[in-house]
Amino acid sequence: MEGIIHFIEAVLEYVVEFGAIILELIGIYVMLDAGFRGFMRWLKHEEDGPRLEEGILEALEFMMCGEVLKTVTANNMNDYIALGAIIVLRFALAFEVQWEMKNKVWHQERSIKVKEASREK
């Protein structure tokens, strides 16, 4: 019976590690894709809008998913502290990017209102 439990624990560890790596790779791909597309828009002098920030947020969500998955196999307090610190840092990055997106939209809306007001005069 004990051998079966060890086998199941080993399988769980491999599945969790593999899943976390896959999620982090997806996050890296999403971030690279968003960066590449943003760079191409920048080269063409196109308006970027919130697409780059949305890509970064989406990538951070995949990466945080991978970190949360790793908590399943954490063995000691040091593992939990390291994973918690990574999650807090990624959450702070996501919060900052989302705040930046809201500010960008607010500035765009304000710019449009100022232009409309100047045309009415």
Tokens of 20: 């976390």
Mean pLDDT of 55-66: 88
**This prediction's pTM:** 0.71
pLDDT of residue 22: 96
Q: Which residues of 37-60 are buried (b: 16+ CB within 10 A; e: fewer)?
A: ebeeeeeeeeeeebebbebbbbbb
Summarised one tens digit per residue, pLDDT across range 88-111 is 888 888 888 888 878 877 777 777
CA distance 101 to 96: 9
Higher pLDDT, 51 or 62: 62
Q: At 113, is the pLDDT very low, low, confident or very high (cuts 50, 70, 90)?
A: confident
pLDDT of residue 121: 63
Summarised one tens digit per residue, pLDDT across range 14-58 is 999 999 999 999 999 999 999 998 888 888 887 766 678 888 888
C-alpha gyration radius of the chain: 21
Task: Flag whether pLDDT at 76 surpasses 80.
Answer: yes
Burial class (CB in 10 A: 0-12, 13-18, 19+), 112: exposed
Q: How far apart are the first and last CA of the chain?
A: 84
pLDDT of residue 52: 81
Q: What are phi and psi of 116, to 5 degrees?
A: -65, -40
Tokens of 88: 């807090």
CA distance 18 to 13: 8
Find tokens 């969500």 and name the residue.
Answer: 61
